[in-house]
Amino acid sequence: MMAGDGGPTATFSVWDYVVFAGMVLGAAGIGLFQAFRSRKENSSEEFLLGGRQMTAVPVAMSLTASFMSGITVIGTPAEAYKYGTAFWLFAFSYAIMSTITAEIFVPLFYRLGITSTYEYLELRFNKVIRVIGTSMYIVQTVLYTGMVIYAPALALNQITGLDLWGVLVATGIVCIIYCTLGGLKAVIWTDVFQMVIMLAGFIAVIARGAVIQGGLGKIWMDNYNGGRLDTFSFDPDPLRRHSFWTIVVGGSLMWVSMYAINQSQVQRYISCKSMTHAKMSLYVNMVGLWVTVSLAMFSGLTMYSIYKDCDPLTNKDVNSSDQLLPYLVMDILAEFPGLPGLFVAAAYSGTLSTVSSSINALVAVTVEDFVKPLWPNLSEKQLSWLNMGMSVFFGAFCIAMAAVASLMGSILQAALSVFGMISGPLLGLFLLGMFFRCANSIGSLSGLILGLIITLWVGIGAQVYPPLPNKTNPLPLSVDGCKTGDTNLTTTVTAWPMTPLTTEPSVVRPAIADSWYSLSYLYFCPVAMLVTMSTGLIISAITGGCKQEKINPDMFVRKKDLFCFSCSRTRSENPDLVEKTGPEHLYGLDNPQFTDHELKLKDSDKITKL
């Protein structure tokens, strides 16, 4: 069939399977290579933090790949296709997030030398708050990872007809293998490989679309005429799904909660060998996010240019917006054996990177926050076996959660909503501890609980009663160009329909559904953060927070942490610098977790002197 005419598409060829299998084997091979390379350094520190000797660029690419997942590959182009380019404004959010995380959170976490982000909560408040924070993170990560596994499984089912459960299980097994054997180093270096594959998949779609449509200029003009390029809307209405304010204000805080306190991300930059590398990894990651979201958005614009006269969703060629890009791939790339396989590899790469990151982080917080406090005398060998066992357990658990993810509507929005609902209260809790000396345990815990209740109320309400189109503002689509009789019902996924949890049409929507439940999902995080902080401060004041004993000043953000790289060469100039005895008195590694033993293992040929 001709692109844009509607109707059934082609299926995978032998070369597509070869390309796809090659990517999976390549990712697994990198992970196994790292496992073999680090076999003599079999410690918990090596497994969870790569020996704290990583450098900025691979960590940055891993940071980007961790959340630019299969959800991005599939969900973001569909977003551009249906709603236009407002999502592009997240470029501002990425810049704000990177600056805040690098200049406020990195110095604090780096100075404390923590392994689990939630260690800070015990140092600043108490053990109970640490356990609650860790538990919230585990729930959030397992839910999110389930969505990430489901997204490419949906794409593979749509394109190849492969069994949905088979793909889900295969995804989990591949991640479990190299996470279990290789630890964080395997995760980071496979992320680098998978990031390249993701970008190549987008470029293939854009390049072929430009050839079909007669150039990028034609694609741009089609989207201009279709209203897709109206990016800036300064409507202050908090119920509007995407506007400049919801994305730049709400989106920035949501991404701060993802990068600044999320164990998956924190674990990467504290694995760097110096604070300079840790900060630089976040700024390089910012550029990576810009490139990735731009390619994803332009893929969506390319899709609109091709289907502007025959929308596959309206024409029932697909039954979900998350299936649009896979449908386009088989429509325009099937005549080039191997290219559809490259796209599926791109979606699959994003999934592998995110799932492996999540598994590694879940193991880290479980071991550090639950296991070690109960059994502090475990040997390194016992910890190593425990780390591997927990990797298998969490991998299997995340696969099971994919079934739940299939019930949550649009994958992209659902994923971001989960982060807003759970990370928002946690971000408020961390900010209370970092900036307010008067905040005490009673007030902070009260604020966390109330913030979580509020954000779950609005978040779950929005799932049950989705906002009406007048607030989400989908743009018009046409089927005038479809060939008569080409309506296709055979390519839809029937295993788990991707529909929101709505009530029956006969049920009347309550008044609150069109006000409180229609709040933009990007405001979930700011609302929860503000409720947590304000409640925490009020109750802390009532319970004598300002009269509590003096707190360790290292628990707070310091003025000299802000916008200053730790580049000093002497300990007198930089108290975080690690001095060692021996032929070289100063290694220049300011990661406070390095020990003499670790440095002796590395200094033969692995440590670069600053």
Tell me the C-alpha distance between 369 and 287, whole Å: 33
Residue of 139, 160, 577 lying closest to 340 (CA atoms): 160
Residue 47: inside a domain, yes or no?
A: no
* Long-range contacts, stretch 474-477, CB < 8 angstroms, 24+ apart: 474/82, 474/83, 475/82, 475/83, 475/84, 475/226, 475/227, 475/228, 476/226, 476/227, 477/82, 477/307, 477/308, 477/311, 477/313, 477/314
Are the C-beta atoms of 436 and 514 separated by less than 8 Å?
A: no
Residue 8: inside a domain, yes or no?
A: no
Residues of the chain where predicted confidence (pLDDT) is lower than 70: 1-10, 31, 34-54, 66-70, 151-152, 154-156, 158-164, 167, 171, 178-187, 349-350, 353, 403-416, 484-507, 546-549, 561-610
Residue 9: inside a domain, yes or no?
A: no
pLDDT averaged over every residue in the chain: 76
Q: Amino acid letter at 578? A: V
Residue of 20, 106, 34, 118 lying closest to 63 (CA atoms): 106
Instruction: Work out the angle at residue 39's Cα, subtended by the Cα atoms of residues 38 and 44, and round it to the nearest 5 degrees.
Output: 75
Same domain, 482 and 601: no
Residue 586: inside a domain, yes or no?
A: yes
Q: What is the domain count for the chain?
A: 2
Same domain, 479 and 522: yes
Q: Which two tokens stand for residue 565?
A: 């790289």
Residue 6 φ then ψ, to 5°: 85, 170
Same domain, 524 and 477: yes
Residue of 155, 141, 165 lying closest to 354 (CA atoms): 141
Spatial CB neighbours of 316, under 8 Å, sequence gap ≥ 6? 487, 488, 489, 492
Tell me the C-alpha distance between 62 and 557, whole Å: 26
Spatial CB neighbours of 393, under 8 Å, sequence gap ≥ 6? none
Are the C-beta atoms of 318 and 491 separated by less than 8 Å?
A: yes
CA 174 to chain centre: 19
Instruction: Work out the angle at residue 393's Cα, subtended by the Cα atoms of residues 392 and 396, and round it to the nearest 5 degrees.
Output: 85
Same domain, 460 and 587: no
Same domain, 545 and 603: no
Are the C-beta atoms of 167 and 161 separated by less than 8 Å?
A: no
Of the residues 520, 543, 561, the one at which a domain ends: 561
pLDDT at residue 610, rounded to an integer: 36
Domain that holds residue 492: 14-35+53-561
Same domain, 210 and 318: yes
Same domain, 597 and 515: no
Of the residues 521, 539, 561, the one at which a domain ends: 561
Tell me the C-alpha distance between 498 and 319, whole Å: 8
Whole-number Cα distances in Å, 216 to 196, 298, 342, 496: 22, 10, 22, 36
Are the C-beta atoms of 308 and 222 separated by less than 8 Å?
A: yes
Are the C-beta atoms of 541 and 438 separated by less than 8 Å?
A: yes
Q: Is 73 left (phi over 0), alpha (psi -120 to 50) or beta?
A: alpha
Residue 397: inside a domain, yes or no?
A: yes
Q: Residue 331: enclosing H or E segment and its boundaries?
A: helix 324-333
Same domain, 507 and 591: no
Same domain, 578 and 546: no
Residue 3: inside a domain, yes or no?
A: no
Same domain, 582 and 552: no
Residue 45: inside a domain, yes or no?
A: no
Same domain, 584 and 438: no
Residue 95: inside a domain, yes or no?
A: yes
Q: Where residue 536 sits, what CATH number does that domain have?
A: 1.20.1730.10
Residue 113 φ then ψ, to 5°: 65, 40
pLDDT at residue 311, rounded to an integer: 87
DSSP 583: S
Same domain, 507 and 593: no
